[in-house]
Amino acid sequence: MTQPDPKNKKHNEPQTAGLPKPGFLATIRNNFFAGIVVAAPIIITGSVIVWLITGPMASLDTFVQHWIPDRFKPEVNLDFYIPGFGVLVAIVGLILLGTFAKNFLGRAMIRVGERFLDSMPVVRNLYGFLKNVFEMALQQTDRSFKEMVLVEYPKKDTWVLGFVVTDTKGEIAHHLAEEGEELISIFVPTTPNPTSGFLLFVPRADTKPLEMTVEEGAKVIFSAGLVTPEFDPSASSGQKKLSAEQPSDKEKRPGLFSSWTKRDK
């Protein structure tokens, strides 16, 4: 096999003579789309920040400052206005409330208040639901939505991208786990609207773990697959696993529906 001559520039240059050059309109179109790619994220990000500041945060600031006595406001005592002073007071108040809720007196008062709410038919259902949602969300923050996997769904040889939420627990795990299999809860969002989706309870062995981050997976879903993260198979360790007890290649099942077929047999 002949090696390219470093002195021969023509031999080393890529052969592009046969490729047609884009016309003037095509160049304008490509530049237009390139401008959209640059400007759209900046504009949308700025718009969201402005909306947060002028919308929810401004409403919270106005609401909190309405309940602050005038003698404690900085514009009265210090003769200057502090933007977002009500938001700062709200953050400090939540920290103090959390500290109080952790001690004995705070827990006792919370139990008394919850018993009072339990006596109200409609309020107790709404309060119980919201309490459970926030407790589960905050308790699972450190380990939830940290991994991306491929799941065979909704039929054989069809794969979807999903977020690993947490390990499946409780009655669901008790009824679904077979022979000690460990189940995980996976959220499969719809595209391009990820606010809806499906919650799947799948054995770990029936998933294909990915090395992409949650942010990269979200980009794939938001863009309907148009934006995909770069991946170098040679640089990939290929050792990422959802647990330390993943089956070997010989034992690993190819997918969720394949495992169902084996179980039916």
What is the distance between the alpha carbons of residues 31 and 26, in angstroms, rounded to a whole number? 9
Residue showing tokens 């006792």: 108
First to last CA, the chain: 54
Predicted local distance difference test score (pLDDT) of residue 163: 93
CA distance 76 to 206: 64
User: Which residue segments constitute the domains of the chain, with CATH numbers given?
Assistant: 147-230+251-264 (2.30.30)
pLDDT at 162: 93
For the chain, helix, strand, coil in percent to 5 are 50, 10, 35
**Amino acid letter, 96:** L
Q: Is 211 exposed, middle or buried (CB count within 10 Å of its CB: 0-12, 13-18, 19+)?
A: middle
Query: Is 187 within 8 Å of 165 (Cβ atoms)?
Result: yes
Per-residue pLDDT of the chain (265 residues; tens, 9 = 90+): 455 555 554 455 555 555 677 788 888 988 998 899 889 989 999 999 999 999 999 999 999 988 888 888 887 777 777 888 899 999 999 999 989 988 888 889 989 998 998 888 888 889 888 888 887 767 655 556 778 999 999 888 899 999 998 888 888 888 887 766 788 999 999 887 878 899 999 988 889 999 999 889 988 888 888 888 888 887 765 544 444 344 444 444 555 655 555 555 5
- In what side-by-side order are the strands of the sheet with 159-167? 197-203, 183-189, 159-167, 147-152, 207-209
CA dist 129 and 124 (Å) reads 8
Query: Residue 31: how many CB atoms within 10 A of its CB?
Result: 10
pTM across the whole model: 0.53
